[in-house]
Amino acid sequence: MGRKWLKQEKRTKEQLFDALVKNALGFVETSLDHVKERPKNSIVDLYTAIELFLKARLMAEHWTLMLSKPETADLQNLYVGDFLSVYLDDALKRINSILGERIDTAASDNFKALGEHRNQIVHFAHSGHDDLAATQAGVIVEQWASWHYLYAMLTETWKDVFEPYKIELQKLNRRMMRQRDFLNSRFTILKPQIEIEVKKGKTIIACGHCELASAVAGEVHAWGTDYSCLVCGVSDTAVVKADIKLPCLGCNEEIEFFDATLAECPTCHFAFNTDSLIDLCTAHIHEGDQWWEEGAEHIASCHNCQCTRPSVFVIDGLWSCVSCFDRGWQAVTCEHCGAFVTGDMERIQYFACHKCEDQVRQEFAAMAPVGAATADGQDADKQA
């Protein structure tokens, strides 16, 4: 399916907006349909739906905003459906810079991650030996997370724009929530296997993705416990709780703020999201770790979620990101670009940090003789 729309009869802007939204709703629908037979298609479809909804939001503001190059806008071409439209990254940027609306970093990070998974599925062949039920469960968990953000945007942030589609959105939301039954029944099926793991001396903890008590604990670190979940197939780290409270920005009452599920203050209902958590920590945390020197930078940029604002603070003795809630990395000033970042220390020292790696790759490419030029630093390493 190309980016160029098929030639179609001349339509008004209102009809085009409606077609765009209906198309998006249709892709959410097929994303749900595909979970059983072709779970990976579900990811591709949901991503397409997100892009279409963002385009529709831009189009509601002004039709030229959904074009990849608004400066080449031609109303006649729009009416016959002959134009190239914007991609996710640019759509997010325009919503922020032109509409002046802040999309929560957690939401945009989630959409970008889904986009990366989509690209892997589209561009790389899969072995086909995957366990179908495990893949299904993993896809459901991923679908849920993205839908959670998308649904909130469509029914709260952009309520007025998408009001005419409220009923359809509610229907899709109900279908999405029913997927929980699939995970629960899978849990029941796997129960004997979980019990065998316990008998073998393994510890079972709650999975941070499907939330079922089906994650087999692995290595234990200062920052958390590695696990791999039998139900949804996700391997992750259950990050150790930060035993620290800060006064709420709304009411000054002490709250346990280092919590990915915290949406609002239980006392005054002040809304907590990535931005207000960064504000809260900036107001109260003024130092780095034991190697930190007075006057040096103490808020690092996170390599894990690549949140646009520096989001990593020393909380309860560990560098901790209040955007993705990952903990336990080290933070350094990158020698290549000067940014204060978290990440793999050796990679930063010998290659680049997450902020400058694209630039460093380009420099490598420019240095390589013609013909051997590569845009990828790792290939350059192999050639050396």
Residues that bind Zn ion (CB under 5 A): 207, 209-210, 229, 231-232, 248, 250-251, 265, 267-268, 270, 302, 304-305, 321, 323-324, 334, 336-337, 339, 353, 355-356
What minimum distance in Å lies between the beta carbon of 230 and Zn ion? 8
What minimum distance in Å lies between the beta carbon of 151 and Zn ion? 21
What minimum distance in Å lies between the beta carbon of 376 and Zn ion? 17
What minimum distance in Å lies between the beta carbon of 94 and Zn ion? 24
Residue whose entry in the numeric block shows the structure tokens 């729309």? 5
What minimum distance in Å lies between the beta carbon of 360 and Zn ion? 8
Q: Are 274 and 285 in contact (CB under 8 A)?
A: no
- 237 bridge partner residues: 226
Mind spelling out the 3-state secondary structure of 200-253? Answer: CCCCEECCCCCCCCCEEEEEECCCEEEEEECCCCCEEEEECCCCCCEECCCCCC
27/319 with CB nearer Zn ion = 319
72/267 with CB nearer Zn ion = 267
48/342 with CB nearer Zn ion = 342
94/355 with CB nearer Zn ion = 355
87/270 with CB nearer Zn ion = 270
Instruction: Tell me how far the alpha carbon of residue 31 is from its chain's centroid.
Output: 18
Interatomic CA distance for residues 325 and 320, integer angstroms: 6
What minimum distance in Å lies between the beta carbon of 307 and Zn ion? 5
The letter for the amino acid at 56 is A
Considering only CA atoms, which of 107, 118, 109 is closest in space to residue 46? 118
Dihedral sign, Cα of residue 229, residue 235, residue 241, residue 247:
negative
What minimum distance in Å lies between the beta carbon of 193 and Zn ion? 14
Dihedral sign, Cα of residue 47, residue 51, residue 54, residue 59:
negative
Interatomic CA distance for residues 311 and 354, integer angstroms: 14
What minimum distance in Å lies between the beta carbon of 223 and Zn ion? 13
The gap between the terminal CA atoms of the chain, to the nearest Å, is: 40
Residue whose entry in the numeric block shows the structure tokens 């945009």? 108
82/104 with CB nearer Zn ion = 104
DSSP states of 52-73: HHHHHHHHHH-GGGGBSSGGG-
65/322 with CB nearer Zn ion = 322
